[in-house]
């Protein structure tokens, strides 16, 4: 089945970030979103270890390993970049000063519950700062594959893994669709034109509701 690549999912999520927004990107896959800011827009990126307004990754071999984000990736400095204590960084998060947090997920429930860590042998060993981000940011979005590697839905009636946050997610960007969470339901906004609504529903673990026309999910070749 045709689906979006991780890069294309990240591109689509980036299109909804407003100019000047304060944004935290989760470790790993969500960090890719920073590469695809639309022309004429510039987000201000925050990282939990205490940097605000950092720039792109440096060229290979030019890294300064004293300058890293929360995922231990090297970053560059921009004019106005600010450094602060780890505790002050989380005060920003908990104080509601972030406009957007974009995270990965193992599972998302139709009421907005998020599970993005696991106690299993291959799981993320602790919930970490995500539990603060999901309730401190003004908007929480998720980027993820629509199904697991063995074909099981990741969008569910209810999460079965330990929760990161309750009722916190408002939009999910998947490899097949863009889905909003509204009034305790999944509301389908966009889907790949190659997949029918019935096919998409069969890969989703809860009912997809419609609220007007469903747009085609169109992204560039990346």
| pTM for the predicted model, two decimal places | 0.93
Q: Is residue 171 situated within a structural domain?
A: yes
What is the structure's pLDDT at 56? 86
Strand partners, 209: 187
Q: Is residue 77 situated within a structural domain?
A: yes
What is the structure's pLDDT at 117? 86
Three-state secondary structure string covering 34-47: HHHCCCCCCCEEEE
Section 5-22 average pLDDT: 97
Computed on alpha carbons and rounded to an integer, the radius of gyration of the chain in Å comes to 17
Active site amino acids: 48
CA angle (131, 133, 139) in 5-degree steps: 125
Q: Is residue 110 situated within a structural domain?
A: yes
Q: Is residue 1 situated within a structural domain?
A: no
Q: Is residue 29 situated within a structural domain?
A: yes
What is the structure's pLDDT at 197? 97
Q: Is residue 191 situated within a structural domain?
A: yes
The number of domains in the chain is 1
Section 172-197 average pLDDT: 97
Neighbours of 22 (CB within 10 A): 18
Q: State pLDDT tens for residues 128-139.
A: 788 999 999 999
Section 12-16 average pLDDT: 97
Is the predicted pLDDT of residue 30 greater than 70, yes or no? Answer: yes
Residue 27 — pLDDT band, cuts 50, 70, 90?
A: confident
Is the predicted pLDDT of residue 182 greater than 90, yes or no? Answer: yes
Q: Is residue 162 situated within a structural domain?
A: yes
Q: Is residue 221 situated within a structural domain?
A: no
Is the predicted pLDDT of residue 99 greater than 90, yes or no? Answer: yes
Section 87-109 average pLDDT: 96
Section 66-90 average pLDDT: 93
> Which residues span the domain enclosing 81?
6-216
Two tokens, residue 46? 């925050």
CATH number at residue 151: 3.40.1080.10
What is the structure's pLDDT at 119? 73
């Amino acid at each position: 089945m045709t689906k979006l690549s991780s890069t294309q999912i990240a591109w689509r999520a980036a299109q909804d970030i407003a100019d000047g927004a304060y944004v935290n990107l989760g470790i790993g896959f969500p960090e890719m979103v920073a590469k695809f800011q639309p022309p004429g827009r510039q987000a201000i990126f925050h990282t939990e270890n205490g940097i605000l307004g950092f720039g792109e990754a440096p060229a290979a071999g030019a890294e300064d390993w004293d300058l890293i984000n929360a995922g231990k990736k090297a970053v560059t400095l921009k004019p106005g970049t600010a450094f602060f204590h780890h505790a002050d960084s989380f005060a920003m998060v908990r104080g509601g000063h972030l406009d957007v947090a974009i995270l990965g997920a193992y599972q998302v429930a139709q009421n907005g519950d998020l599970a993005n860590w696991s106690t299993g042998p291959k799981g993320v060993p602790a919930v970490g700062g995500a539990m603060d981000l999901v309730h401190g940011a003004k908007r929480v979005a998720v980027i993820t594959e629509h199904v697991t590697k063995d074909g099981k839905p990741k969008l569910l009636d209810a999460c079965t893994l330990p929760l990161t946050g309750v009722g916190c997610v408002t939009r999910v960007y998947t490899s097949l669709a863009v889905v909003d969470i509204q009034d305790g339901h999944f509301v389908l906004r966009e889907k790949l034109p190659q997949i029918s609504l019935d096919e998409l529903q069969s890969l989703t673990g809860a009912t997809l509701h419609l609220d007007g026309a469903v747009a085609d999910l169109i992204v560039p070749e990346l």
